Each structure stands twice: as C-alpha cells, then as structure tokens.
C-alpha cells in the first residue's frame, strides 16, 4: 500500500515532487490497509506538511540560497 502526495513547484511543471509512504512488508501493509479513513487522512496531512517543508528547502536551494 502507498499513501502519497505530489506537488509541482512552479508553473512549468518541470519541478515535480512526490512524497510517499509505502509498506515494505506484509505486516506493514496490513497496518496501513487497516487504517480508518480518518487515520489515512491524518497520514496524508502529515505527508503534505512534510512536503511543504521539503518544498521550502528545495526552492531556496534552487534560488541559490
């Protein structure tokens, strides 16, 4: 199972990031698939927040900072 968030960093669509949480074992797959809708939404929100932080770092680096 995978829960992912994607983001384009500019209007050209050339700077595209995906941040994903992927199960790597059968046990973890069971845990992720067993999450309630609210829990999956909470994981997706956490990924989106992390992607916000990563976006700030990458865009600063791209700008030469």
Q: How far apart are alpha carbons 35 and 25 in whole angstroms?
A: 16
Element (H, E) at 38: helix 37-62
Indicate whether 62 pLDDT > 90. Answer: no
Question: Minimal CA–CA distance to 17: which of 26, 27, 4?
Answer: 4
Model confidence at 63, pLDDT cuts 50, 70, 90, reads confident
User: Tell me: the pLDDT tens digits for 7-54?
Assistant: 998 888 898 999 999 999 999 999 999 999 999 999 999 999 999 999
42: nearest Cα among 21, 57, 56, 59: 21
Predicted TM-score (pTM) of the model is: 0.81
Model confidence at 57, pLDDT cuts 50, 70, 90, reads very high
């Amino acid at each position: 199972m995978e829960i992912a968030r994607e983001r384009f960093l500019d209007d050209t669509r050339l700077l595209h990031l995906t941040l994903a949480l992927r199960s790597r074992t059968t046990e973890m797959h069971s845990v992720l698939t067993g999450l309630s809708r609210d829990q999956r939404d909470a994981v997706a929100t956490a990924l989106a927040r992390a992607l916000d932080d990563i976006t700030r770092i990458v865009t600063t680096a791209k700008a030469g900072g």
